[in-house]
Amino acid sequence: MDYDPIFAAGKGWLAALIAIAGVLFGNGGLYLVTRLGLRRAEARNQSIAGLFWLLLCLMCVGNFISYVPNRTFATHADMATAERGLNCSPRWIAIVLGAPFLVASGHYFARILPRAAVAFGQRILAAPVVLAIVAVLVFTQFYGRSGLTGYGATSHHISAFWTYGVPLPLLCFALWRVKSELSARPI
């Protein structure tokens, strides 16, 4: 997108809105839709639909970290355009967008994934563990790598943290939550 005419017209806020629209409205709105879809699939005991919604929800929370914090301090691209358009520090973007994105990601691994894994585990014995491992690996190794190259040193370090520092603790947490959910359900 050519933002120069928008900035030249003095509408930097509009350029910022365009730059963050995909992650904010697309992934943020889709995240809310996936939560409704998951509830509906769970209520109707629809495994395939539930798996679809669970993985789509994972895509949304993965995209959240892919943008904020991974590329918030980038030297170019969407987050840099948003910062320029709002005339603010990347720290403000990290705080304002990062807080709800972190809450959504935490909610996914603390509540959504364990409940769905247990629901799938009623049909396939290893499903809870496999789903937890796949979700953590996709979240950290696919989305976590988004700022490793081409976005500047700060983005590289943040992405390296998500890619190399977070997988094991997140996997332990996800498996612990799955185990807690399994033990809370009657057999």
Question: pTM for the whole thing?
Answer: 0.87
Q: How confident is the model at residue 186 (pLDDT cuts 50, 70, 90)?
A: low
**Count of Cβ atoms closer than 10 Å to residue 66 Cβ:** 23
Q: At a CB cut-off of 8 Å and minimum separation 6, what does 8 contact?
A: none
In percent, the amount of the chain with pLDDT more than 90 equals 68
pLDDT at 76: 87
Tens digits of residue pLDDT in 141-170 = 999 999 999 999 999 999 999 999 999 999
| Token digits of residue 30 | 């889709």
- Report the alpha-carbon distance of residue 88 to residue 80 in Å, rounded: 10
- Amino acid at site 119: A
Average pLDDT over residues 8-19: 95
Tens digits of residue pLDDT in 100-134 = 999 999 999 999 999 888 877 766 677 888 889 99
- DSSP 8-state assignment for residue 166: S
Is it the case that residue 187 has pLDDT exceeding 60? no
- Whether the upstream peptide bond of residue 69 has omega within 30° of 0, thus cis, is yes
DSSP labels, 58-97: HHHHHHHHHHTTTTTT-SSSHHHHHHHHHT--HHHHHHHT
Helix (H) or strand (E) holding 126: none
- Report the alpha-carbon distance of residue 34 to residue 52 in Å, rounded: 9
